Structure 1
Amino acid sequence: MLLEGKSVVIMGAGSGVGRAASLIFARNGAKLICADLVAERNEETVGLIREEGFTDAQAITCNVVKEADVQAAIDAAVSAYGRLDVIFNNVGIASPVRNNALVRFDEITDEDFDQLNDVNFRGVGNGCRLAIRQFLKQGDHNGVIVNTASVAGMVGWGGVLYGATKGAVIQLTRGLAIENAKNGIRVNAVCPAGMITNFGAGSAPRVVTPELESMYGKQHPLGMPISPEDCANAALFLASDMARNITGVALPVDGGYVAA
């Protein structure tokens, strides 16, 4: 029960890491606002939480690019649970792919640039700044932010523009951690490597096969693909009081990839 009684907003709760975190956080006592752009998948996540007997979970449709949507998610937490304790800015879209290949940086369009920057960086930034405003308003020297970055923001890996946006998330995390340390607000990031989720795969559920698991596992020294639960458990630790003296950290969840 690492988050017992904590009021938590989880972005991207409709699938992947966001869904895994929603379930794991609920099992650890969190009171949840599950936010996602895709309302149907988000409602499914809340349904799964309630099937396990946890009733403190609500779904809200949210486009993280829109400040008003993010504010509405935070307001929903305050309205339902009296305050905001944690926000998990699990935000991101994949690198553009055309003709079954990652688009080279010199072939990136203005639309590609704007879309990745808006979602991957502005979306996380919206969650951070609005959460900080709420934490300061509460005035009790408390509050936790966990952001989803990527190992692609730490090393040259994958799409260049995607990696640049995730690198920006890591620097945002570090800067905010120092700026807000005096206010007791902790800011950290999880940095997953290759995960088998629907990330970048469209709306149809991705079928996990032994071949796919082997392909992803070969990317990491430990030989296993990164699961959404691996990343969600790392976020749980950073969100909990077990990490009370940890801030400004970009935590790789990568099977040893960055260390190799």
Structure 2
Amino acid sequence: MLLDGKSAVVTGAGSGVGRATALRFAAEGARVVCADISAERVEETVRLVEKTGGTAVAVRVDVAEESEVVGMLDSAVEHFGRLDILFNNVGIPTPRLGGALLEDHTVAEFDRLVAVNLRSVFLGCKHAVLRFKEQGGGGVILNTGSVAGLVGWGGAVYGATKGGVHQLTRAVAIEGAPFGIRANALCPAAMPQTNFFAAGGLGQGAELSEEAVRQAGAQHPLGKPITAEDCAAAAVYLVSESAGNVTGVLLPVDGGYVAR
């Protein structure tokens, strides 16, 4: 029960890392606002949380819109009395799943990647910090970055948005430290379990081909693909008091990829 009594918001909670983390947070005692742009998917996540005895509510949100982000965070206060944890976990992949070179991107694609992958994190961080300062007692922000923001992975604009997420994370960590606010980021490598593979036509979940899973795992020295549960386990540590003196960290969950 590492998060017993905590109030957490998880974005992108309708699938993949978001759903796995919402389930894990609830299992560790947190009360969870599950947020996603798909009401149907996020309501299913809440049903799964409740099925295991946890507490959660569903919120449909477009995290690129400031008013909706504010409303999402207000939901945590409305339902659970305060906000303790925000996990900014929404992201979309490079068009054509890494096949788009820099010069292939349209301005519309660039703007969409920045809005979803970077502006959403800025908005979440900004309004979580405001809420934490108003409440007093600190708080925790966790952002989903990527190894693509640490090294050249492919997908230039996607990598740039994740690099921006990493710098925002460090800035919030430093600015928030005097107020007891911590901020860290997860940096996953290849995760066939997420909507990124589905967007590339490679399937998702049980529909994934064995070859797609094998190719993902082969990119990592440990030889295994990254799972949503791998990220959820790291997320629990970073938002819990076990990491009470850890802030400004960009934690690769990558099977050793960036260590090569």
Q: TM (normalized to structure 2)? A: 0.95
Moved over 6 A (4+): none
Report the counterpart of residue 186 of structure 1 in structure 2: 182
Report the counterpart of residue 82 of structure 1 in structure 2: 81
Q: In the comparison of the two structures, how many residue pairs are matched?
A: 256
Q: Are the aligned partners of 2:98 and 2:154 in contact in 1 as well (CA < 8 Å)? A: no
Report the counterpart of residue 257 of structure 2 in structure 1: 257
**2: distance between equivalents of 1:233 and 1:63?**
26
**2: distance between equivalents of 1:129 and 1:7?**
18
Report the counterpart of residue 110 of structure 1 in structure 2: 107
**1: distance between equivalents of 2:113 and 2:174?**
26
Given residue 256 of structure 1, which amino acid in structure 2 is its aligned partner? Answer: G
> In 2 relative to 1, CA 101–73 (structure 1 residues): closer, same or farther, beyond 3 Å?
closer
Could you tell me which of 158, 166, 172 is aligned with 1:170?
166
Output one character per residue of 1:209-254: Cα deviation in whole Å (capped at 9) or x when no partner.
4322211110000000000010111111100000000000000000
Give RMSD over aligned pairs: 1.4
Given residue 4 of structure 1, which amino acid in structure 2 is its aligned partner? Answer: D
SS at match of 1:80: helix
The unaligned stretches of length 5 or more in structure 1 are none
Is 1:57 aligned to residue 64 of structure 2?
A: no
Given residue 90 of structure 1, which amino acid in structure 2 is its aligned partner? Answer: N
> In 2 relative to 1, CA 182–101 (structure 1 residues): closer, same or farther, beyond 3 Å?
closer
Deviation at 1:101, TM superposition (A): 6.1
Identity of aligned residues (%): 54
Deviation at 1:205, TM superposition (A): 4.3
Given residue 184 of structure 2, which amino acid in structure 1 is its aligned partner? Answer: N
Output one character per residue of 1:170-218: Cα deviation in whole Å (capped at 9) or x when no partner.
0110111111111110000000000012225249744134322211110
SS at match of 2:183: strand
Deviation at 1:106, TM superposition (A): 1.3
**2: distance between equivalents of 1:244 and 1:96?**
38
Output one character per residue of 1:49-108: Cα deviation in whole Å (capped at 9) or x when no partner.
111122x200000000011111111111001111000000002100011xx861110121
> In 2 relative to 1, CA 91–101 (structure 1 residues): closer, same or farther, beyond 3 Å?
closer
The unaligned stretches of length 5 or more in structure 2 are none
Q: Are the aligned partners of 1:62 and 1:73 in contact in 2 as well (CA < 8 Å)? A: yes
